[in-house]
């Protein structure tokens, strides 16, 4: 019964160990994500990941704009 309650926590830990541990330690250390050292680091991380995304997923040869669908 106790293991059933902890299973979502373990699933998140197994799927995303780095982000889980980062969130865990920020909670233990009571870091505020809006404070300057953490906020500036998060902004740099977000900018670096924004540049590494590719446009092939978005533009895969299909025409842009609205598309029509048929509902029966």
pTM above 0.75, yes or no: no
Q: Within its chain, how far is the Cα of 44 from the centroid? A: 15
> By the 8 A CB rule, do 21 and 33 touch?
no
Q: Which helix or strand (DSSP H or E) is residue 14 part of?
A: helix 2-15
Domains of the chain, residue spans: 7-47
- The DSSP code sequence of 16-52 is -HHHHHHHHHHHHTT--TTSHHHHHHHHHHHHHHHHH
pLDDT one-digit tens code per residue, 12-24:
888 888 888 888 8
Give pLDDT tens digits for 23-57: 888 889 887 777 787 778 778 877 876 655 455 55
**Token pair recorded at residue 13:** 């830990």
CB 43 within 8 A of CB 35: no
């Amino acid at each position: 019964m106790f293991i059933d309650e902890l299973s979502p926590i373990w699933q998140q830990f197994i799927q995303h160990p780095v982000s889980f541990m980062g969130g865990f330690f920020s909670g233990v250390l009571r870091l505020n994500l809006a404070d300057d050292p953490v906020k500036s680091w998060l902004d740099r991380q977000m900018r670096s990941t924004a540049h590494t995304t590719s446009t092939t997923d978005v533009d895969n040869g299909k025409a842009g704009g609205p598309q029509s669908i048929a509902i029966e």
